[in-house]
Amino acid sequence: MKASKAEVLGQALPGVPIWRLGAESRHPGMPYIVFPGNVGSSSAIAEIVASWSCKSLQIAKNILLEAANGHYAVGAFNVYNLEGISSVISAAKDEGSPAILQIHPTALRHGKGALVAACISAAKTANVPIAVHLDHGTDEQEILDAIDMGFDSIMIDCSHLPFKENLERTKRITIAAHSRNVFVEAELGRLSGTEDGLTVEEYEEKLTDPIQADEFLRETKVDALAVCIGNVHGIYPKDGPKLKFDLLQKLGEITSKHNSFLVLHGASGLSPDVIKECIKHGVRKFNVNTEVRSAYVTTLREPKKDLLDIMSCAQDAMKTVIAEKLKVFGSSGKFLNQAHV
């Protein structure tokens, strides 16, 4: 294989590592499973093939189809470590709710394959539907690498580009993702605010144009569209959000026509009444980050006896916020005592 170096991505099974081959190999970037002969049972290889082969039906699409049929929405929560992952899974289990674990590219660069592997493992072992999603992917190679790493769903964010360039790049990456049965979200319009070190000033904000949205969905065939209707990343101004529901209604009709799902980022700080109005107009996925992060950071400032106490309190604080969001989104109780789909 002419591989002289590789990156260890994680484990397919205990003691069975996954490597990504280096650029000098015959298959640069290819995931490579190293199976020691003395590890696992007689069915271990078959288990790996079954679990790592392409999915026949996307979990992310299933989750949002159920939400559309049930007239509710699903929460997507950004995670950065095991405490965050555990908080989402624990809240979803307790509430009998589906949920989505999101990893932002900056968090991915920090946590690398270990963070992804932890999310995938947690999702597979949960007794409620959980998807693993790459949030705000802007680098094409990074998105393709995420697909190789096993994400159920990816977001192609080319909203900073001119419309035609956004469309063409999104279309190209979507074809690659769909060939691997990976769900695709894209963004049209641009939100102001700050998320994970990236700031978009208010003057750079651009509301989603319905005519462009129709063309974009027709040409790209993306599965979900994140829109800007006055929502922001981060903290809303003191006078509150000013969402344009007339625009949201038009966009909801357009996404429905193209069998796509409507996504709203910046759900932190939106009141329950505003959330319900958004769901009424077709929003099926809400992104939540700021409120969960704030709960985590606030806990860290409080004195504790031990590191484990800090981790436990932080996890409980995040779980409380997440559980409340699941209730407001209407997804609580939808999968009580049901098996993983």
Active site residues: 135
Both tokens assigned to 318 = 């995040």
Contacts of 107 (CB under 8 A, 6+ apart): 78, 79, 80, 115, 196
Q: What is the DSSP string of 26-66?
A: SSTT-EEE---TTSS-TTHHHHHHHHHSPPSS-HHHHHHHH
Q: φ, ψ for residue 71 (rounded to 5)?
A: 60, 45
161/38 Cα distance (integer angstroms) = 51
Q: What is the DSSP string of 70-93?
A: HT--EEEEE--SHHHHHHHHHHHH
99/75 Cα distance (integer angstroms) = 5
Cα-based angle 292, 101, 245 (whole degrees, multiple of 5): 70
82/295 Cα distance (integer angstroms) = 15
